C-alpha cells in the first residue's frame, strides 16, 4: 500500500466535496440518511485529520468528464430518467449472450472514471501470480488480496513475503493484504497482523471453497480473534456459505451464523463477500452500516443456466455458484442503486485450463482482465459505476480515493479464448466496451 499523502488527500477531498451531489436514489429502498454513515466522520487510518466526506454524499459525481458524441455531459446525478427507480427485474430482460445489456446513453462513447479498486482478488502464486497480477495492475489501482494459498497466509512473515512476491510480479499494484482466520488465532496474533498492516481477515468455513479444508468449523472458535479484531477495528471478510448445505442454499444457510457474529460484535466491520442471492442482498441491507457486501462482475452477468444449462460451462463455475435470475436481478439492483453498502470485489480466481476442464474441476472465474468492460455494460450511469468500483470500497476500508482514472471506450473487442493459460471470464464473446491503453 502506498502511504497516504496528506496533500493529495485534502485535494481529493475538497474536489469531491465541491463536486459531490447529495442525491438520494429515489425509490431504491435505501435509506441514505444520517444514520447511514459508518461513524459520522471518516478518519483515515493513522491520521488525526478527519476525512471530510461521508456516505451521505452518494452517489458522487465523477470529477472526470464523461464525454458523449454530441459533446454533452451525461454524468449529471439523478438526471438520467429511470436510473435506480426501476423495480428489480424490469430492466434486464435479455440474456447476456444475446447482446449488450447496456443502458448507458447510446450516444456516449467514452466512460472516464476514478481509477477502480478490486476489493477481492485471488492472485495465486508462482507462475500464475506472475501471469495474472499484471492483468489486475493494468486496470486496478488497489487490490484486496485473498490469503487462501497453499499453505495459506496465517503468519505475519508469510503475509509480508507474499506481498513481496506480488510486488515483484506487478510493482505498480497497490496491495491490501489479508490473512486467513484460523481457529487457533488469539488476540496476540490479530494484534501482530494489525501492526504489520493487514487490512482485513478472511474467514473461510471449513471445506467450502478452494484451499479451505482447514477453515472454520465452529464460529465460536474464532470468538477471541473477532474480539481482538473489533478492538483493532480490523474488518472481517467472510465467505458466507454453510458447508453441507445444498449448493443453491449455502449462502442463505450461513446468514444465521453471521447473525451471531453481528450480535456478539455489533461494531465489527464485516464484509459479506461475493453476495450471490437475493436473500444475501436483503441481509446486508438489514444490517447496520458497518456491515457491507461485495459483488462480482460475473454474478451480475451469469445465472446457473450459464453453468449447467444446455452445456456444462466449467469456466463459469465458481463459489458461490451463480444462482437464479431473481438473484442476479437483486444483485444488479443493489450494485446500481448507489448504496454504499455494496462495492466491487471481482473474486477473480484464475485456474489453469487443465484444472477447470477435468473430472473434478476447480471453482473460480478468472475475471480480472475483463471485469471493468463487463461492468461498463451493466451499469447505466458512469457516476454509479465509479461509486461502485472506486468510492464505496475505499471508504469502507478507510483508504484514500485513487487520484488516477480509467477510461473505457465504446469499442467492441472480443475476449481472448485463453490468456496466459487461463480461460478468462466471457472468453470468446464480444464486449462493447474496451479499456483505453
Ligand atoms: Zn474469493
Q: What does the pLDDT read at residue 207?
A: 77
C-alpha cell at 392: 464505496
Helix (H) or strand (E) holding 10: helix 6-19
3-class DSSP assignment, residue 432: strand
C-alpha cell at 207: 471445506
Q: What is the DSSP letter of 322?
A: P
Domain extent listing, the chain = 41-435
Contacts of 186 (CB under 8 A, 6+ apart): 224, 225, 228
C-alpha cell at 368: 480480472
Per-state percent for the chain, helix, strand, coil, to nearest 5:
35, 15, 50
Take residue 190 and report the three cell numbers written for it.
490479530
Distance 288 CA to ligand 1 centre (A): 24
**How far is ligand 1, taken at its centre, from the CA of residue 96, in Å?**
23
- Which protein residues have a CB closer than 5 Å to ligand 1 (ion)? 347
First CA to last CA distance, the chain: 24
- Low pLDDT (below 50) residues in the chain: 1-103
pLDDT value at position 106?
56
3-state per-residue secondary structure call for 30-49: CCCCHHHCCCCCEECCCCCC
Which CATH number does 41-435 carry? 3.20.20.140
Can you read off the three cell numbers belonging to residue 406?
480509467
CA distance readout (Å), 125 to 129, 130, 144, 419, 424: 4, 7, 15, 16, 17
Q: How far is the CA of 363 from the centre of ligand 1 (A)?
A: 10
pLDDT of residue 11: 31
Confidence (pLDDT) at 23: 30
Residue 38 is predicted with a pLDDT of 26
DSSP conformational letter for 245: S
Gap from CA of 179 to ligand 1 centroid (Å): 13
The Å distance, Cα 386 to ligand 1 centre, comes to 22
Q: Of 107, 140, 110, 103, give the one whose Cα is nearest residue 123.
A: 140
Question: What's the 83 CA to ligand 1 centre distance in angstroms?
Answer: 30
| pLDDT value for 77 | 29
| Cell numbers given for 116 | 477502480
Q: Is 347 assigned a catalytic role?
A: yes
Q: Give per-residue pLDDT as tens, 229-241.
A: 999 999 999 999 9
Pick the catalytic residue from 117, 347, 377, 380.
347
What is the torsional sign of CA 335, 340, 341, 345? positive
Residue 1, C-alpha cell as written in the block: 500500500
Amino acid at each position: 500500500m502506498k502511504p497516504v499523502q496528506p496533500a493529495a488527500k485534502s485535494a481529493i477531498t475538497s474536489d469531491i466535496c465541491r463536486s459531490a451531489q447529495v442525491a438520494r436514489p429515489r425509490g431504491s429502498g435505501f435509506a441514505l440518511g444520517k444514520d447511514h454513515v459508518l461513524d459520522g466522520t471518516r478518519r483515515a487510518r493513522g491520521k488525526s485529520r478527519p476525512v471530510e466526506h461521508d456516505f451521505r454524499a452518494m452517489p458522487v459525481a465523477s470529477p472526470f468528464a464523461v464525454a458523449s458524441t454530441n459533446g454533452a455531459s451525461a454524468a449529471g446525478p439523478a438526471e438520467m430518467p429511470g436510473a435506480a427507480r426501476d423495480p428489480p427485474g424490469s430492466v434486464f430482460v435479455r440474456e447476456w449472450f444475446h447482446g449488450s445489456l447496456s443502458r448507458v446513453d447510446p450516444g456516449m462513447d467514452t466512460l472516464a472514471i476514478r481509477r477502480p479498486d478490486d476489493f477481492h482478488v485471488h492472485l495465486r502464486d508462482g507462475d500464475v501470480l506472475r501471469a495474472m497480477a499484471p492483468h489486475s495492475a493494468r486496470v486496478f489501482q488497489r487490490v484486496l488480496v485473498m490469503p487462501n494459498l497453499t499453505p495459506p497466509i496465517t503468519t505475519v512473515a508469510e503475509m509480508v513475503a507474499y506481498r513481496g512476491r506480488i510486488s515483484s510480479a506487478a510493482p505498480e499494484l497497490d496491495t491490501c493484504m489479508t490473512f486467513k482466520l484460523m481457529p487457533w488465532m488469539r488476540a496476540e496474533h490479530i494484534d501482530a497482523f494489525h501492526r504489520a498492516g493487514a487490512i482485513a481477515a478472511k474467514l473461510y468455513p471449513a471445506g467450502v471453497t478452494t484451499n479451505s479444508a482447514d477453515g472454520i468449523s465452529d464460529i465460536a472458535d474464532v470468538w477471541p480473534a473477532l474480539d481482538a479484531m473489533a478492538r483493532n477495528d480490523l474488518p472481517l471478510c467472510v465467505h458466507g456459505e454453510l458447508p453441507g448445505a445444498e449448493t443453491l442454499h449455502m449462502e442463505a444457510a450461513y446468514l444465521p451464523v453471521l447473525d451471531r457474529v453481528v450480535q456478539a460484535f455489533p461494531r465489527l466491520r464485516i464484509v459479506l463477500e461475493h453476495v450471490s442471492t437475493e436473500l444475501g442482498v436483503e441481509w446486508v441491507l438489514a444490517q447496520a452500516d458497518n456491515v457491507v457486501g461485495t459483488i462480482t462482475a460475473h454474478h451480475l452477468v451469469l445465472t446457473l443456466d450459464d453453468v449447467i444449462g444446455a452445456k456444462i460451462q466449467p469456466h463459469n463455475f465458481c463459489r458461490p455458484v451463480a444462482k437464479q435470475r431473481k438473484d442476479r436481478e437483486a444483485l444488479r439492483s443493489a450494485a446500481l442503486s448507489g448504496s454504499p453498502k455494496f462495492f466491487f470485489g471481482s473474486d477473480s480466481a484464475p485456474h489453469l485450463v487443465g484444472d477447470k476442464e477435468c473430472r473434478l474441476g476447480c471453482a473460480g472465474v478468472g475475471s480480472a482482465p475483463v471485469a471493468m468492460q463487463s461492468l461498463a455494460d451493466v451499469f447505466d450511469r458512469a457516476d454509479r459505476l465509479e461509486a461502485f468500483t472506486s468510492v464505496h470500497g475505499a471508504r469502507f476500508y478507510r483508504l484514500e480515493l485513487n487520484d488516477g482514472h480509467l477510461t473505457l471506450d465504446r469499442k467492441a473487442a472480443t475476449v481472448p479464448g485463453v490468456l496466459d493459460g487461463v480461460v478468462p471470464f466471457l472468453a470468446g464473446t464480444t464486449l462493447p466496451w474496451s479499456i483505453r491503453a
